[in-house]
């Protein structure tokens, strides 16, 4: 296999850290450069087990800093990109939309420009892989699935910014011949997930016996995929995806929020040796998220048929493994929930 110097942006975040780990361990012949600004969501603790690997590098760079980006391309002789760096939390996008415009749209265009410039001799030879979300497709009713040809219909500042970045990536393929590929994935869960998102937040609150704030009527539906299966899908699309193509990635695993929360409560009671029903008493219905998308569901048949990828872990296995990981990594959880996070939590949930 050819030598490649792969720049992975956002590698210190939740999904990025799993992708970096997989590539560092699976492809010793590749050099993996983790480029990350280390915002509140970036944490090098997520990569302690691979940071000494001979094929791992780290560059603390903000994708809004064009000279630093260009320097990273030169220093590391970047041959390919897997772009995950983003502001990723819908609730934060409702409070501060411009942060999402800067990082998710302008940051992505900066990266496209740097790639285009650095690879100008043969733009088609180098892969530019942009990681996106199913949220760009908007909200489904009770029936149907998002396919690769579903029209974009973003409804939150987060999904609008991701949709915009997807369009720029496609445009750079058509206009400048960049060898791009985009994948749109459903909700991920698993180890190293920042506890502002539903599953890790509720695991943390159950441990601490704090209220579980369920938005609205709790009947919103998400399609959950284990993060390690997403990382495997990214590996597959990176190596085999057709230039200019997009792939939907999902777990065929829909859950209404309230059913998922009740399952989580049941599993946590068992694992913490608490009497059955203890954690369910923490469920508290709170004011809804504005513009809350009702249902997401991915049709992942294209990636299965074309590239042979499918999820390997059932939801029960993945959720159980995830809870075990959080229970065994109390130090990690304490570290990320202290300080600035505490302030965020108080102000975000006071508004509701």
Residues that bind ligand TYD (CB under 6 A): 90, 187, 197-198, 201, 213-215, 220, 222, 257, 289
Judged by CB under 6 A, the residue of 33, 63, 112, 265 near ligand NAD is 63
From the list ligand TYD, ligand NAD, none, which binds 213 (C-beta under 5 to 8 Å, kind-based)? ligand TYD
Active site residue 49: no
The one catalytic residue in 80, 87, 91, 135 is 135
Q: Does residue number 261 form part of the binding site for ligand NAD (CB under 6 A)?
A: no
As measured in angstroms, the least distance from the Cβ of 145 to ligand TYD is: 16
As measured in angstroms, the least distance from the Cβ of 122 to ligand NAD is: 26
As measured in angstroms, the least distance from the Cβ of 140 to ligand NAD is: 16
Active site residue 134: yes
Q: Does residue number 237 form part of the binding site for ligand NAD (CB under 6 A)?
A: no
| Binding characters for ligand NAD, 77-96, by CB under 6 A (x = yes) | -------xxxxx--------
63 vs 105, beta carbon nearer ligand NAD: 63
The interface with ligand NAD within residues 154-213 (CB under 6 A) comprises 162, 185, 187-188, 194
Residue for token digits 């993996």? 32
Distances (CA, A) of 89 to 26, 188, 194: 30, 12, 10
Active site residue 349: no
Distances (CA, A) of 105 to 59, 112, 226: 21, 11, 27
238 touches 181 (CB < 8 A): yes
Distances (CA, A) of 265 to 196, 221, 349: 18, 18, 21
Rounded CA-CA distance 91/6 in Å is 31
CA 3 to chain centre: 27
The interface with ligand NAD within residues 318-347 (CB under 6 A) comprises none
116 vs 197, beta carbon nearer ligand TYD: 197
Distances (CA, A) of 276 to 255, 262, 268, 270, 279: 21, 11, 9, 7, 8
As measured in angstroms, the least distance from the Cβ of 345 to ligand NAD is: 16
41 vs 198, beta carbon nearer ligand TYD: 198
Strands (E) located in 134-273: 179-185, 187-189, 212-215, 221-226, 245-249, 254-256
Burial of residue 149 (number of CB atoms within 10 Å: 0-12, 13-18, 19+): exposed
The footprint of ligand NAD (CB under 6 A) covers 9-10, 12-16, 36-39, 41-42, 62-64, 84-88, 103, 107, 131, 133, 162, 185, 187-188, 194
Which residues are designated catalytic? 134-135, 158
């Amino acid at each position: 296999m050819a030598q490649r110097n792969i720049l992975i942006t956002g590698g210190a975040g939740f999904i990025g850290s799993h992708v970096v780990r997989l590539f560092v361990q699976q492809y010793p012949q590749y050099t993996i450069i983790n480029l990350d600004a280390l915002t509140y969501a970036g944490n090098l603790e997520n990569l302690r087990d691979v940071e000494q690997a001979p094929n791992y590098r780290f560059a603390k760079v903000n994708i809004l800093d064009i000279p630093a980006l260009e320097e990273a391309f030169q220093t590391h002789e970047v041959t390919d990109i897997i772009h995950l760096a983003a502001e990723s939390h819908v609730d934060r996008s409702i409070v501060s939309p411009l942060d999402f415009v800067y990082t998710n749209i302008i940051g992505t265009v900066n990266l496209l420009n740097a790639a285009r410039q650095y690879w100008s001799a043969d733009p088609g030879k180098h892969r530019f892989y942009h990681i996106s979300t199913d949220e760009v497709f908007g909200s489904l009713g009770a029936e149907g699935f998002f396919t690769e040809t579903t029209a974009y219909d973003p409804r939150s500042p987060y999904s609008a910014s991701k949709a915009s970045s997807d369009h720029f990536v496609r445009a750079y393929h058509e206009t400048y011949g960049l060898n791009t590929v985009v994948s749109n994935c459903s909700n991920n869960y698993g180890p190293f997930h920042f506890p502002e998102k539903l599953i890790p937040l509720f695991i943390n609150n159950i441990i601490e016996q704090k209220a579980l704030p369920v938005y609205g009527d709790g009947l919103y539906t998400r399609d959950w995929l284990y993060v390690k299966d997403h990382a495997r899908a990214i590996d597959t699309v990176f190596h085999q995806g057709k230039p200019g193509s997009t792939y939907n990635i999902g777990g065929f695993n829909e859950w209404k929020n309230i059913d998922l929360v009740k399952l989580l409560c049941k599993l946590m009671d068992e694992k913490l040796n608490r009497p059955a029903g203890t954690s369910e008493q923490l469920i508290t219905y709170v004011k809804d998220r504005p513009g809350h998308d009702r249902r997401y569901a991915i049709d992942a048949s294209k990636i299965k048929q074309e590239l042979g990828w499918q999820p390997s872990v059932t939801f029960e296995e993945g959720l159980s493994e995830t809870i075990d990981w959080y229970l065994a990594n109390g130090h990690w959880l304490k570290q990320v929930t202290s300080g600035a996070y505490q302030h965020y939590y108080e102000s975000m949930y006071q508004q509701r």
